Amino acid sequence: MNAFYDSLMQRLEAIKTVAGFSDKEMEVLLNFKRISQAELDVDGQKYQSYRVLHSEALGPGKGGIRFHPDVNIDEVKSLALVMS
């Protein structure tokens, strides 16, 4: 896991309590529209890449995108969720 992702999940849990969200509403909030992953080869160097789109509920969505040797899917999911 990732510290940013863990922190975001804790904040969402607190928001759930304060806002009175049901488990079903939280499930919708934590469901991502699209997750793509690929391996990029740049000058012989391999990079894991991710593109995550959280939601298109309010129109075209902007998501997280990263490619770096140290990136992981939780980091990019966190970025996409924050952008929503």
- Of 76, 34, 38, 75, the closest CA to residue 53 belongs to 34
Q: How many CB atoms lie within 10 A of CB 84?
A: 16
Its domain, for residue 40, covers 3-83
List, for residues 7-61, the tens digit of each pLDDT value.
Answer: 998 999 999 999 999 999 998 888 999 999 998 898 998 888 888 998 887 777 7
List, for residues 60-69, the tens digit of each pLDDT value.
Answer: 777 767 777 7
DSSP per-residue string spanning 17-75: HHHT--HHHHHHHT--SEEEEEEEEETTEEEEEEEEE---TTSS---EEEE-TT--HHH
- Total number of domains constituting the chain: 1
Query: In the structure, what pLDDT confidence band is assigned to residue 1 with cuts at 50, 70 and 90?
Result: low
